[in-house]
Structure 1
Amino acid sequence: MRDRFSRLSILGASLVLAFAVSARSVQADICGSPSSIDDGWTTASPDSVGIDGAQLCGIAARLAQRATSVHSVVVARHGKLVFEQYIPGYDEPWGQPDGQQVFSATTKHDLRSASKSVVSLLVGIAIDRKLIAGVDEPVLKFFPDHQALKQAGWDAITLRHLLTMSSGMQWDEARAWTDPKNDEPHLTFEADPIGYVLARPIAAPPDTLWTYNGGGTELLGNILERVSGKPLETFAREALFQSLGITDVEWKAYKNGKIAAASGLRLRPRDAAKIGQLVLDRGQWNGQQIVSADWIAQSTTPRFQAIGFFGSTQFYGYQWWMGRSLAGNREIKWVAAFGWGGQRIFIVPELDLVMMTTAAQYGQPKEGLAAIDILSNIVIPSVRDAH
């Protein structure tokens, strides 16, 4: 996505070499065997859950061959972690060029716009707890202190319109970060970024136009703070992360000090994969219902064609993406969280499978394609049974 703060400089030949070295080292480490770090995951071998482990071992070579800037690949099936791989390379943690990084099972990574999908889960939890009546609540109800900014048409916008990015507000974050017409940078430096979003004019009636919009997610994050009476990260820890056994969390703030609901979450890849497993298991983790199954179903129902993003087969729900992969002669549907730079959480219900990737493909023309390549051409074909 376009939740960026700087452009990645051209990667040098040293990164390609790092991939190649990593590929050789992985071969010597029982390729992709998950570490036991007492983080709540049950680990198992790929073959024990119907996956061809030898085929998964091809991931390292494929990444090295293509110099994809991928930092991690994590795979879980039947609720068990069966594969993880970490690759050193250049990164820009929270938009700050930081050079070469060495990643591991205990290294946090930017999720960028995959944060939006976590916000969606938190909205569902708030509704489950009766902190919010439902998705048809009007947005302005939660901002009595910003009534003076109200533009014509805002009275008709509900939480559902923010969740589906169909509010119709005038918003453009597809431009260069330095372009003054790019709305997203205003979230970082405006003294009142919420006021900036609420002051945007309405360009189309709600429910008629899908436009990628991080500003709407910022409103959702602020609403969660208002109804819970807690900072967003505190509410997220108590309502979601604690139940998932996720303790190493960081939710970054913009330069103006406001929490970056749409893009600031940093998690370990294994913990991000738990988010995928939660959705796969209809809101449950280890038998505990954390968010209602109904919310998961609503969130992952296709509601809009995501025109202009990642091809014509992408759909959008409540801050979640939906698409499909062609593996051999099979069309496999998936749900996903997408983050700029190649951050991906894929949920494949038909195969009871989750795959998570992190990367540093910021600003690259084929950003995110490495993840879908690995999913469609290695991970899905490695599944040897249909259940």
Structure 2
Amino acid sequence: MRDRFSRLTMLSASLVLALSISATHLRAESMPSGPTNQACGSPAAIDDGWEIAPPDSVGMDGAQLCTIATRLAQRSTTVHSVVVVRHGKLVFEQYFPGYDQPWGQPDGQSEFTATTKHDMRSASKSVASLLVGIAIDRKLIAGTDEPVLKFFPDYAAVKQPGWDAITLRHLLTMSSGLKWDEARAWTDPKNDEPHLGFEPDPLGYVLSRPVAAPPDVLWTYNGGGTDLLGNIIERASKTSLEAFAREALFQPLGITDVEWKTYPRNGKIAAAAGLRLRPRDAAKIGQLVLNRGQWNGRQIVSADWIAQSVSPRFQAIGLFGSTLFYGYQWWMGRSLAGDREIRWVGAFGWGGQRIFVVPELDLVMMTTAAQYGQPNEGVAAIDILSNIVIPSVRDAH
């Protein structure tokens, strides 16, 4: 999950991070937290398609949401944005300056606002899954049971035994059985993820990997499979992944300021990790899933695909203490809020990028952050969701 192609030395990063944490702490201490304070979470009025509403109008406690900055300061963590949506309305957003490692740009201190794009990192995988669903809806791809090798006849020479049984569904659920390891140190040559950016032909690298287990037997986190899915979309649609995404997904959602980065050494689209979005636009992705594929009454991706995508299919063994389930490039988990157990669906990206969809509360929350390589990355996001945002809901509808 550590899609880290823009990383500099950890020593310099640590020094800058320490400075940013201190600045965040000071800023949070001086920030008023009253519910009527316009600086505290009141969404900016920009023409991006969101209806804006105060928290109390959608059954949420604005004063409790205004404790988010203090909570982050207590955790001494670098979070860049928090966006909250309820009943389809944008009710809270807060942005924090701090250290960042943006893809293809120098590391350093950055300011973040409602109009600043941010790396989504591996949350890109969840968006890629939506694009696969749209391609299937449009009959560009017959279905998830299509063999992967059907789309890559030009790679027949590198095929390893067992590949004939691998389908798109196995790539979507990360159950292909490929020999693949992203859990090693970034500098370890046995870490497969860096090869996606460094190999002249990353698709050939993935397609030449040996099969360690039959499909549907072994769940292994695998960004290479997502890159294959991205290229399958390109081959089926006869256009680039970014162009297809803009036409089929982003334009219908009113998302105009978007990038999908390529690997700098080989120029190939980074389907698994390269998406950059404004946080408010990333929240639209969550709202689309919450609405079963609809946005403003328009069906962008079929409700059936959403249902398939967010159905638990595998225990995510080896990540996050194995407490999560995995669907079609989407995570499933739960929060304990008081005496209530609340289930959610999530898109996760390295460094603390999170999109949470909470169906039973009609709620979406997303965060961006710079917790790259930190032992507890993502903890701040789940803490805010479980201990502030969910408890701030004052009604059950």
TM more than 0.5: yes
**Does residue 1:289 correspond to 2:295, yes or no?**
no
Determine the structure 2 residue equivalent to 1:21: 27
Following TM superposition, by how much is the alpha carbon of 1:64 offset from its aligned partner in structure 2, in angstroms? 1.7
Could you give the per-residue CA deviations for residues 5-50 of structure 1, whole angstroms, max 9, x where no partner exists?
Answer: 2265212245322343155346453410000101000010000000
Counterparts of 2:222 and 2:238, CA distance in 1: 25
Could you give the per-residue CA deviations for residues 73-125 of structure 1, whole angstroms, max 9, x where no partner exists?
Answer: 00000000000000010000016542111100000000000000000000000
Could you tell me the TM-score, scaled by structure 2's length? 0.96
**Could you say what secondary structure the match of 2:155 adopts?**
helix
**Could you say what secondary structure the match of 1:371 adopts?**
helix
Amino acid in the other structure paired with 1:142: F
Contact 2:120 2:349 (8 Å CA) reproduced: yes
Determine the structure 1 residue equivalent to 2:274: 264
Following TM superposition, by how much is the alpha carbon of 1:67 offset from its aligned partner in structure 2, in angstroms? 1.6
Unaligned runs of 5+ in 1: none
Contact 2:351 2:378 (8 Å CA) reproduced: yes
**Could you say what secondary structure the match of 2:21 adopts?**
helix
**Could you say what secondary structure the match of 1:382 adopts?**
coil
Counterparts of 2:146 and 2:373, CA distance in 1: 36
Aligned residue runs from structure 1 range 43-54, under 5 A? 43-54=52-63
**Does residue 1:87 correspond to 2:93, yes or no?**
no
Contact 1:32 1:57 (8 Å CA) reproduced: yes
Counterparts of 1:183 and 1:312, CA distance in 2: 21
Aligned residue runs from structure 1 range 341-380, under 5 A? 341-380=351-390
Amino acid in the other structure paired with 1:295: W
Unaligned runs of 5+ in 2: none
CA RMSD of aligned residues (A): 1.2
Could you give the per-residue CA deviations for residues 331-351 of structure 1, whole angstroms, max 9, x where no partner exists?
Answer: 000000000000000000000
State which drifts further: 277-286 or 59-68. 59-68
**Does residue 1:220 correspond to 2:229, yes or no?**
yes
Determine the structure 2 residue equivalent to 1:153: 162
Counterparts of 1:242 and 1:106, CA distance in 2: 17
Shift in CA distance, 102/308, structure 1 to aligned 2, threshold 3 Å:
same
Following TM superposition, by how much is the alpha carbon of 1:65 offset from its aligned partner in structure 2, in angstroms? 2.1
Aligned residue runs from structure 1 range 1-387, under 5 A? 1-5=1-5, 6=7, 8=10, 9-10=13-14, 11-22=17-28, 24-25=30-31, 27=33, 29-94=38-103, 96-255=105-264, 256-387=266-397
Could you tell me the TM-score, scaled by structure 1's length? 0.98
Query: Identity of paired residues, percent?
Result: 80
Following TM superposition, by how much is the alpha carbon of 1:253 offset from its aligned partner in structure 2, in angstroms? 0.4
**Could you say what secondary structure the match of 1:94 adopts?**
coil
